[in-house]
Structure 1
């Protein structure tokens, strides 16, 4: 949808906002969470006709709200645990970005009265009741002409398992469940009927960003994405002295990564692999099993790989991100052949230049081995995409400041862009003195070196 069309819809929604009273997400505070809240589920409808003015739906009389068209696709957005009682700060972003992508009903499932409770055990118990409430509502939708296959449930944390419970009630016939860092506490180790699992929808895609704390570690979907390995996310606080961000930043990163995928401003390719270590080692860069489509794209558009992923039963995919938006990075395969007499171990840093624009990648998760006349294959992940590379800078380091400075004698270095079909870039006969950056102009690789 064009920007101007969307702007016109937004201005029309503002007019509706002024003419009609809007229903809003329940806003509570820590006091409510301490004394505890009883469950109440409110459904707030957003459409292209009311982008910023939510309208509460009746659970029983769907015709009472003329903006709700059950024949259109419907996306449910289900939040998780709210110990502070406040509304999530991503609510308006996700509704507007979803509606910019498609003409649909977006239903915010507001179960803040229930989720706002310092007693996490009680909140977990409410997930079943919330699922029962949504199951009854979707059954009503069916009776009024809706198709289960046109329903997409996006569940955050506890909301992911609520989505799974609903999907199980409909025997996996719901079109899609997207789980954003599914909650781990009290769900880890549970059987499939007590948590989200791949049989809960026709397609289940999951992103894990906090597997070592609040999130669920093991795979739960047809495809499970593990950005940065699924644990510590770049840019998130590393110590408890950073305040509440230390506890929630990794967990919430799943939402912000997904928001970026909806707008398509930051397209992230994910690489199916057996482990994060194998991915970083550059052993999973070809995606041959997904030809001709290539590696799956993370996020909203991963549904395009459904027909390939579902028969595979379960796929784990990995990628790395920047510290902040835009999170997407650019991946190159780097092949290096050296002619040192002795084996060298070390780290490589690469910069790609186009005038004043520079992209950087540091391959330092472990020391790489460079043997005479043997090709060393590396995965370089740059912080941005340079459309046309004019110069390349490379630096070699052993990581040991106390030893004698070594040289890495490069017979050939080749860089291959993994997302685009660019001609590979090469350079021959380069001497890398340790900790000294060498800059050169690349040349197209010879045909025999592709």
Structure 2
């Protein structure tokens, strides 16, 4: 999958160089890659009939007693989750990623540091997520159902309170969480909260609500936008939507080097900032104060007084909220005492 991405990147840069474009090259290349990549996925959309095997999706449980290694959870040992006093947090990665990705581990650790009574379950659907994007997109529906079925078993067979469940997903993982929520609704249950970190845009942008993340998939659906309109969904899709720096382009994301075309990190930098901001917000829950506003332009001039912090896991606020960030860690522009916690752990988390 990385090779496919590199090939797309090479073609895109070649197109730009040949056409003589020389301004805003970073944004232009991203758009070219997006257009080619979207075209490829639409061409193969009729070949997405492969169903992932439930056994290929693995769940690893972490808590204060199993911070580093964790325990693989299956239907046979779900009782290990029963004693959890705090929240039970599922973290779901996106396309071409895995349950051991750095950001997944960092977010898991952030929760265990700040909420030691919680349990964190990392979901690894790497095989199904590592397919061509259109196939991985279809697979997200099935994996979401697998997660939903596990949660139903926790509730019905192990007396786990649904109010303890929290689902967090990045990119395709955001839609996967939405599909899990839809599965719960089929049996008359509603998840309390889903948090989607820049949910994937290609294909899902034009699909109806029943085939993507939607505000009705949980009681609260919280969405953080950082690459809206390219690799992330554009527009409001949650009960509450956060738009970092307007939601499209993030300060500090490197310009693309035309002489280093195999370095694909800058292409996905804006998309990945969503989980970087969220990890920092969990470590410092008062730092990313966002203001309610109808547009980013108005946010720069005048807005409503209502403010909510990204990382507030109890808010029931609704609407669109905007905030700005620094170009490098710490990303928050707030200056308060909680920054000390970030300073202590930032090196450990490689933020």
TM-score scaled by length of structure 2: 0.74
- Aligned partners of 1:271 and 1:318 also within 8 Å: yes
- Report how far residue 238 of structure 1 moved: 2.9
Hey, what does 2:203 align to over in structure 1?
A: 186
Hey, what does 2:27 align to over in structure 1?
A: none
Q: Structure 1 pair 74/235, CA: closer, same or farther in 2 (3 Å)?
A: same
- Report how far residue 38 of structure 1 moved: 5.3
- For the pair 1:207 / 2:224, whether they are aligned, the reply is yes
Give the whole-Å Cα distance in 2 for the aligned partners of 1:57 and 1:320: 39
Give the whole-Å Cα distance in 1 for the aligned partners of 2:274 and 2:248: 11
- Aligned partners of 1:73 and 1:150 also within 8 Å: yes
Hey, what does 1:218 align to over in structure 2?
A: 235
Q: Structure 1 pair 81/61, CA: closer, same or farther in 2 (3 Å)?
A: same
Hey, what does 2:266 align to over in structure 1?
A: 246
- For the pair 1:128 / 2:132, whether they are aligned, the reply is no
- Aligned partners of 2:168 and 2:194 also within 8 Å: yes
- For the pair 1:322 / 2:326, whether they are aligned, the reply is yes
Residue by residue over 1:244-273, the C-alpha shift from the partner in whole angstroms, topping out at 9 and shown as x without a partner, is 122111000000000001111770110111
Q: Secondary structure at the match of 1:108?
A: strand
Give the whole-Å Cα distance in 2 for the aligned partners of 1:211 and 1:224: 12
The total of aligned residue pairs comes to 283
Q: Structure 1 pair 52/37, CA: closer, same or farther in 2 (3 Å)?
A: farther
Hey, what does 1:305 align to over in structure 2?
A: 315
Hey, what does 1:17 align to over in structure 2?
A: none
Give the whole-Å Cα distance in 2 for the aligned partners of 1:323 and 1:175: 33
Residue by residue over 1:386-420, the C-alpha shift from the partner in whole angstroms, topping out at 9 and shown as x without a partner, is 9xxxxxxxxxxxxxxxxxxxxxxxxxxxxxxxxxx
- For the pair 1:283 / 2:302, whether they are aligned, the reply is yes
Cα RMSD of the aligned pairs, angstroms, is: 2.6
- For the pair 1:79 / 2:93, whether they are aligned, the reply is yes
Give the whole-Å Cα distance in 1 for the aligned partners of 2:92 and 2:99: 15
Give the whole-Å Cα distance in 1 for the aligned partners of 2:104 and 2:182: 26
Hey, what does 2:111 align to over in structure 1?
A: 98
Q: Which is helix-richer, 1 or 2?
A: 2
Looking at both structures, which has the greater relative contact order when contacts are Cα pairs under 8 Å and sequence separation is at least 6? Answer: 2
Q: Which is strand-richer, 1 or 2?
A: 1
User: Of 261, 264, 288, which residue of structure 2 is paired with 1:268?
Assistant: 288
- Aligned partners of 1:45 and 1:68 also within 8 Å: no
User: Of 157, 176, 193, which residue of structure 2 is paired with 1:162?
Assistant: 176
Q: Structure 1 pair 156/254, CA: closer, same or farther in 2 (3 Å)?
A: same
Segments of 4+ in structure 1 off by > 6 A?
A: 28-31
- Report how far residue 189 of structure 1 moved: 2.1
Q: Secondary structure at the match of 1:253?
A: helix
- Aligned partners of 1:149 and 1:173 also within 8 Å: no
The equivalences for 1:386-401 within 5 A come to none
Give the whole-Å Cα distance in 2 for the aligned partners of 1:68 and 1:173: 20
User: Of 136, 144, 154, which residue of structure 1 is paired with 2:158?
Assistant: 144
- Aligned partners of 1:60 and 1:137 also within 8 Å: no
Hey, what does 2:248 align to over in structure 1?
A: 231
Q: Secondary structure at the match of 2:178?
A: helix
Give the whole-Å Cα distance in 1 for the aligned partners of 2:285 and 2:170: 22
- Aligned partners of 1:70 and 1:145 also within 8 Å: no
Structure 2: stretches of 5+ with no match in the other structure: 8-49, 338-351
Higher gyration radius (CA) = 1
Structure 1: stretches of 5+ with no match in the other structure: 1-27, 331-383, 387-450
- Report how far residue 139 of structure 1 moved: 1.2
- Report how far residue 59 of structure 1 moved: 2.5
